[in-house]
Amino acid sequence: MDTTLIHWQAIWLTLKLASVTTVVLMILATPLAWWLARTRSRLKQPIAALCAMPLVLPPTVLGFYLLVLMGPNGPVGQFTQWLGIGTLPFTFTGLVVASTLYSLPFALQPIQTAFENIGPRPLEVAATLRAGPWDTAIHVILPLARNGMLSAAVLTFAHTIGEFGVVLMIGGNIPGATQVLSVLIFNQVEAMEYVQAHWLAGGMVVFSFVVLLVLYTFNYRSVRLSLVN
């Protein structure tokens, strides 16, 4: 297969995976972050610790257990086979599931912090104006938490771009199907194709720097604007 085609396939698949993972996590992490920010349940700390485990857990460990769970003999694998969709390992859907779990803390924690910083006062004012739950969420909570949600989306997208261990365990190394950029770079280094690896690795370094620079600049300007107001 043409080398250029392989590169573009890996780039497209990586961007697609990062985009889908970001959308899924923004949908799932937002209500979970709200619950963690507001609840007084005894389960708060255990659930928060469980969600944060990918920060300290080796990616290969997470990938291994996901492989066991989603494999043909695992409970998730047996369930998906019963549904008639087969098993998830070595498919794009499997990559999305693994990436969603692995990037969960990067979406959850910024949103939770943003919700905690809102405080009770805006919600009390909304209640006195007889705003319903949806009105309060759309017109009060989400606008006040927009910086945290933007940070969560950017960090999730960037983190997914750089995933390696968990996607290698779940997706393997199938060009055009599950081979993402990080895995392709690993292959090129193993094959001692250092020139091609330099181009891809250098591009990821520049991308990471630009993403973080934009995020920090936006947060800095937002803080200054809030202080001025």
Work out the percent of the chain whose per-residue pLDDT is above 70. 96
Residues 210-226, mean pLDDT to the nearest whole number = 77
Task: Tell whether the model's pLDDT for residue 227 goes beyond 70.
Answer: no
Structure tokens at 80: 């998906």
pLDDT digits (tens, 9 = 90+) for 70-102: 999 999 999 999 999 899 999 999 999 999 999
Closest among 160, 157, 156, 178 to 168, alpha carbons compared: 178
Task: Tell whether the model's pLDDT for residue 210 goes beyond 60.
Answer: yes
Residues 32-42, mean pLDDT to the nearest whole number = 93
Which pLDDT score is estimated for 1? 57
Task: Tell whether the model's pLDDT for residue 29 goes beyond 70.
Answer: yes
pTM confidence score? 0.90
CA 193 – CA 181 distance, rounded (Å) = 14
Report the half-sphere exposure of 161 (CA within 13 A, side-chain side): 20
Structure tokens at 221: 């300007």
Looking up tokens 């919600």, which residue turns up? 123
Q: Domains (ranges, CATH) in the chain?
A: 3-228 (1.10.3720.10)
Task: Tell whether the model's pLDDT for residue 225 goes beyond 70.
Answer: no
Which pLDDT score is estimated for 228? 56
Which pLDDT score is estimated for 105? 96
Backbone angles phi, psi at 44, to 5 degrees: -60, -50
124 or 178: which carries more pLDDT confidence? 178
In this structure, are residues 201 and 185 in contact, taking their beta carbons and an 8 Å threshold? yes
Which pLDDT score is estimated for 217? 85
pLDDT digits (tens, 9 = 90+) for 133-168: 888 888 888 888 988 999 999 999 999 998 888 999
Which pLDDT score is estimated for 149? 92
